[in-house]
């Protein structure tokens, strides 16, 4: 019949204030798939019910569907389109709508809707992919019971999976077969999923605390089966943890996870059928680093936790996205903290918040945790929604305490189970359960920008009194020039400079006004300020503490995060001074690093984090005008000085962290981390035997952490054996896509000269393709965060990224649009760079047929 218009770059704006409840509900849906990669037929039967008294038509969303038939109550009707929607006028209060459409999964390069990946057929529907499968009101506040029948060629697709519980299966004529799945829980369309393919499962049983038996399975292609134990174990651990910590139990007879190679992001929490990017499932010592192992467990837990925070209680509209994502990230962070060292986990989480979210909040794409408008919702799966959203809920946990927070979570789940809720519902449940007043605190959801807190401590020795003056400000962000003061929970403690003892118990100060003064009595010794301990608020603190105080805290603070923070601040102050003044004294940093390395009471993982210098980009983030070359030079000089001054300590740390056999435990991971960091310093010292040490580790490693750690050290250097190591690595893993991604990204992230040219060359490599999002991110994404290489004078880095993004947008707009922010930071660079960056953005914008995703990101970046 008719082809619906495909979504194009018409700048539509969706506003939160325009929300209206749906005119029609869809309590039941039957879906019938005749699966085929070239031409799949989807028949849908929707039971629709009028929602309230009105005479509005039923509006169905569709994108790129070939409509073959449309019937209302059994009678064929001609379709009427209203914009991108199908509009159906209905006389009664309940009707049955039937549609039949055709799609071509193998030509779906966007990887939204139904697509083919490595011989499988699979789906991705969040946020608006279901409309690429069938005509439907594709909005999260429509909750529907699904019955699904899948038919496919049995030899090619022996396994047929969908949401819920399996109810029937059998053979059909012509070598085909079928499977039927019913999901008893009404769900929004974004949680629909199906998978068809030649898969094998790693299975186990799980008995919930009330005695329900659940069959767990992780489905992969046969050669990958041996790499699924870690993910399966993480799933069981996460299920038990959610029962114990949040009182949440699983609710279906089966829980299936499928790994696919082509995936736009990490993973997806479809009800009873999670679909994962294979990088977050597959792990064995030879191919996965400790970082990968940790990420697998965290993402498996994250998606599982969505069964309650996301599926049982979903979002009313996409402006509420952080309701499920912020809460679920907090839950996965708490889970990971409980599996290893909470301090190290907090350090890692804060580091990634600062690396990804702070720059977003300070740039042209800044938006509140609950945005007010969007053009393309896919662009709002951001570090602000996920990570800042998690910090906002963590602050409630801090202010309410664990017990009252849990009561609030229970109340939220009780009240809203089976419904589509809002951020406001969550905050109100926390208030109602705890009695706390969170009126001002709600500003965290509506005001964008990272708050800054100035802290000034003064001491009046005569009166034994110390005064802490606090002043907060929230910077202007696009569309929000003026801000109100936030409610900020700050954990604060004073230490005596002479005795190194705490001068008083830690206080939880809630800063609510623009300024505040806190008075401490009985302070006879000179006090040293420890503030925002544990990173209790996601803010930037300017405490202007002298190097001596930071060195003191890095040795004596009893909060491990604050200790880490002190040494990092000392490094940062030294580096920033080096860049702005041309030189800085390294003495205090060297002394603090030496003391940390020699402190027997500290665990290796913590030491490794503490002695690592802040990244070049993080140093750049401290400066109004970023000079990438100067930052690189100054940081390398400090690295070399640390390496040479503490040469014996680095060797001792390196050798002390040696393990003979791979083991995945917090202690063994910490040892490997310290080993890699120490190796970096051994290399930086310029010692003639350093490349041999690295190469020997590279060859002898029995795990990917040590192997990639050594490779990275070599690739960052000018050692002769670097090319040999790259070749060996390439040939050893040439059949493993996930490890080849590391081969690409290690080179794209290299700090050495010539990285831009190497990356341009790698884009021509026969293993490079933009069609696979992991590969595109491994080269283009990694390169764009390599501050020095991306900003190579002359603008070649910008031109390269623009070329790649223009090509990628034609295949996969979502993945392309995610890589725009690096170019959008032009305001922070000198005139020449800024102009070249703008030129690259303008060139992208001028491409005819640019996607809505790219249009929004690029046009906002130019404003
Ligand atoms: N909900 C998924 C998660 O667990 C991610 C979905 C991302 N969707 C998107 N359009 N970017 O985080
Ligand atoms: Zn999520």
Domain coordinates in residue numbering, the chain:
2-198, 736-863
Q: 7, 126, 300: which to mutate for ligand 1, most atoms within 8 A of CB?
A: 126
Distance 324 CA to ligand 2 centre (A): 7
Q: 305 CB less than 6 Å from ligand 1?
A: no
CA–CA distance, 356 with 802 (Å, rounded to integer): 21
Nearest to 553 by CA among 529, 577, 523: 529
Distance 494 CA to ligand 1 centre (A): 42
Q: 609 CB less than 6 Å from ligand 1?
A: no
Predicted structure pTM score: 0.98
- What was the pLDDT predicted at 3? 39
Nearest to 195 by CA among 252, 123, 264: 123
Ligand 1 atom at shortest distance from the alpha carbon of 299: 4
Q: 381 CB less than 6 Å from ligand 1?
A: yes
* Strand segments (E) across 241-399: 254-260, 267-268, 273-277, 313-315, 373-374
- Find out whether 175 and 58 touch, Cβ atoms under 8 Å: no
| Below-50 pLDDT ranges, the chain | 1-7, 9
- In our burial notation (b when 16+ CB lie closer than 10 A, e otherwise), range 581-604 reads eeebebebbbbbbeebbeeeebbb
Beta bridge partners of 103: 40
The number of the ligand nearest the C-alpha atom of 129 reads 1
Distance 263 CA to ligand 2 centre (A): 14
Q: 265 CB less than 6 Å from ligand 1?
A: yes
- Find out whether 239 and 304 touch, Cβ atoms under 8 Å: yes
Structure tokens at 731: 């040939």
- Find out whether 569 and 550 touch, Cβ atoms under 8 Å: yes
- Provide the phi-psi class of 208: left if phi over 0, else alpha when psi is between -120 and 50, else beta: beta
Ligand 1 atom at shortest distance from the alpha carbon of 112: 10
Q: 329 CB less than 6 Å from ligand 1?
A: no
Distance 303 CA to ligand 1 centre (A): 10
Q: 631 CB less than 6 Å from ligand 1?
A: no
Instruction: Count CB atoms within 10 A of the CB of residue 137.
Output: 23
Structure tokens at 721: 């054996």
CA–CA distance, 286 with 664 (Å, rounded to integer): 12
State phi, psi for 2 to the nearest 5 degrees. -130, 150
- Find out whether 338 and 241 touch, Cβ atoms under 8 Å: yes
For ligand 1, atom 3: residue with the closest CA: 268
Distance 697 CA to ligand 1 centre (A): 38
The number of the ligand nearest the C-alpha atom of 264 reads 1
Distance 266 CA to ligand 1 centre (A): 7
- What was the pLDDT predicted at 5? 40
Q: 138, 187, 265, 307: which to mutate for ligand 1, most atoms within 8 A of CB?
A: 265
Q: Report domain 736-863's class.
A: mainly alpha
Q: Which of 151, 180, 269, 303 is catalytic?
A: 303
Nearest to 124 by CA among 317, 304, 270: 270
Write out the DSSP string of 147-177: EEEEEEETTT--EEEESSEEEEEEE-GGGEE
Q: What is the 3-state secondary structure (H, E, C) of 195-223?
A: EEECCEEEEEEEECCCCCEEEEEEEECHH
Q: 853 CB less than 6 Å from ligand 1?
A: no
- Find out whether 672 and 657 touch, Cβ atoms under 8 Å: yes
* 2-198 and 736-863 agree in CATH topology: no
- What was the pLDDT predicted at 659? 72
- What was the pLDDT predicted at 10? 58
Q: 123, 127, 189, 268: which to mutate for ligand 1, most atoms within 8 A of CB?
A: 268
Structure tokens at 127: 């946020």
Instruction: Count CB atoms within 10 A of the CB of residue 471.
Output: 17
Structure tokens at 386: 């996920």
Active site residue 655: no
Helices (H), 193-320: 229-246, 290-305
- In our burial notation (b when 16+ CB lie closer than 10 A, e otherwise), range 485-496 reads bbbbbbbbbbbb
- Find out whether 804 and 773 touch, Cβ atoms under 8 Å: no
The CATH fold assigned to 2-198 is Immunoglobulin-like (2.60.40)
For ligand 1, atom 1: residue with the closest CA: 268
Distance 381 CA to ligand 1 centre (A): 7
Helix, strand or coil for residue 20?
A: coil
- pLDDT tens, position by position, 165-220: 999 999 999 999 999 999 999 999 999 999 999 999 999 999 999 999 999 999 99
The number of the ligand nearest the C-alpha atom of 113 reads 1
- What was the pLDDT predicted at 11? 77
């Amino acid at each position: 019949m008719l082809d619906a218009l495909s979504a194009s770059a018409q700048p539509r704006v969706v506003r939160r204030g325009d929300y209206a409840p749906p005119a029609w509900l869809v309590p039941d849906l039957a879906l019938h798939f005749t699966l085929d990669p070239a031409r799949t037929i989807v028949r849908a039967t929707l039971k629709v019910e009028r929602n309230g008294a009105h005479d509005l038509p039923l509006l169905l969303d569709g994108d790129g569907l070939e409509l073959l038939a449309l019937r209302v109550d059994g009678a064929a009707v001609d379709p009427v389109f209203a914009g991108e929607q199908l509009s159906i006028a209905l006389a009664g209060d309940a009707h049955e709508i039937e549609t039949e459409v055709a799609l071509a999964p193998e030509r779906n390069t966007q990887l939204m809707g139904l697509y083919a990946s490595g011989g499988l057929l699979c789906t991705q529907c969040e946020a608006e992919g279901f409309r690429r499968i069938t005509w439907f009101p594709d909005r999260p506040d429509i909750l529907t019971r699904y019955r699904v029948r899948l038919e496919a060629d049995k030899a090619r697709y022996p396994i047929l999976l969908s949401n819920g519980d399996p109810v029937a299966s059998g053979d059909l004529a012509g070598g085909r077969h079928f499977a039927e799945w019913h999901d008893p829980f009404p769900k929004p369309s974004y949680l629909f999923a199906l998978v068809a393919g030649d898969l094998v499962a790693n299975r186990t049983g799980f008995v919930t605390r009330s005695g329900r038996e659940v069959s767990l399975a992780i489905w992969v292609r046969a050669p990958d089966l041996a790499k699924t134990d870690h993910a399966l174990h993480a799933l069981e651990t996460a299920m038990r943890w959610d029962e114990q910590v949040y009182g949440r139990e699983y609710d279906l007879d089966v829980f299936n996870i499928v790994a696919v190679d082509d995936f736009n992001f990490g993973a997806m929490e479809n009800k009873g059928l999670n679909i994962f990017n294979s990088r977050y499932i597959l792990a064995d010592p030879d191919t996965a680093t400790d970082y990968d192992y940790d990420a697998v467990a965290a993402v498996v837990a994250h998606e599982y936790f969505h069964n309650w925070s996301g599926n049982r209680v979903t979002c009313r509209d996409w402006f509420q996205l952080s309701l499920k994502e912020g809460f679920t990230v907090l839950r996965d962070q708490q889970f990971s903290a409980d599996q290893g060292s909470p301090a190290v986990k907090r350090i890692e989480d804060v580091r990634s918040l600062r690396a990804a979210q702070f720059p977003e909040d300070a740039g042209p794409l800044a938006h509140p945790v609950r945005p007010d408008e969007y053009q393309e919702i896919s662009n709002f799966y951001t570090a602000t929604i996920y990570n800042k959203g998690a910090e906002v809920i963590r602050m409630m946990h801090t202010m309410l305490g664990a017990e009252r927070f849990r009561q609030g979570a229970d109340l939220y789940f009780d009240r809203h189970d089976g419904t589509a809720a809002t951020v406001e519902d969550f905050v109100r449940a926390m208030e109602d359960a705890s009695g706390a007043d969170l009126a001002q605190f709600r500003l965290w959801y509506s005001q964008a920008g990272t708050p800054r807190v100035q802290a000034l401590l003064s001491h009046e020795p005569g009166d034994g009194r110390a005064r802490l003056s606090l002043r907060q400000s929230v910077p202007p962000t696009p569309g929000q020039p003026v801000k109100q003061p936030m409610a900020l929970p700050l954990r604060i403690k004073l230490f005596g400079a002479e005795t190194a003892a705490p001068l008083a118990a830690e206080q939880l100060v809630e800063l609510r006004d623009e300024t505040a003064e806190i008075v401490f009595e009985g302070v006879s010794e000179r006090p040293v300020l420890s503030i925002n301990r544990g990173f209790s608020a996601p803010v930037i603190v300017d405490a202007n503490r002298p190097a001596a105080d930071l060195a003191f805290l890095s040795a004596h603070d009893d909060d491990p995060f604050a200790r880490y923070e002190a040494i990092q601040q000392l490094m940062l102050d030294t580096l920033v001074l080096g860049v702005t003044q041309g030189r800085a004294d390294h003495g205090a940093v060297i002394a603090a690093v030496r003391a940390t390395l020699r402190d027997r009471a500290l665990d290796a993982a913590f030491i490794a984090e503490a002695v690592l210098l802040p990244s070049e980009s993080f140093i750049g983030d401290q400066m109004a005008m970023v000079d990438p070359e100067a930052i690189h030079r100054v940081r390398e000089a400090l690295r070399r000085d640390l390496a040479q001054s503490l040469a014996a300590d680095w060797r001792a740390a390196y050798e002390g962290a040696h393990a003979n056999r791979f083991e995945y435990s917090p202690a063994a991971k910490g040892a490997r981390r310290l080993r890699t960091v120490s190796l970096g310093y051994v290399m930086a010292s310029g010692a003639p035997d350093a490349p041999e040490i690295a190469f020997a580790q590279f060859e002898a490693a029995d795990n990917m952490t040590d192997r990639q750690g050594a490779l990275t050290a070599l690739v960052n250097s000018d050692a002769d054996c670097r090319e040999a190591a790259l070749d060996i690595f390439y040939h050893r893993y040439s059949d493993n896509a996930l490890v080849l991604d590391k081969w690409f990204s290690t080179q794209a992230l290299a700090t050495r000269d010539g990285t831009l040219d190497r990356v341009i060359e790698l884009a021509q490599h026969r293993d490079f393709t933009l069609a696979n999002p992991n590969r595109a991110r491994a080269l283009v994404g990694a390169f764009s965060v390599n501050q020095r290489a991306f900003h190579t004078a002359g603008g070649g880095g910008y031109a390269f990224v623009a070329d790649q993004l223009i090509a990628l947008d034609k295949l996969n707009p979502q993945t392309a649009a995610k890589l725009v922010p690096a170019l959008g930071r032009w305001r922070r660079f000198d005139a020449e760079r800024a102009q070249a960056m703008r030129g690259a953005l303008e060139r992208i914008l001028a491409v005819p047929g640019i996607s809505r995703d790219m249009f929004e990101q690029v046009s906002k970046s130019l404003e």
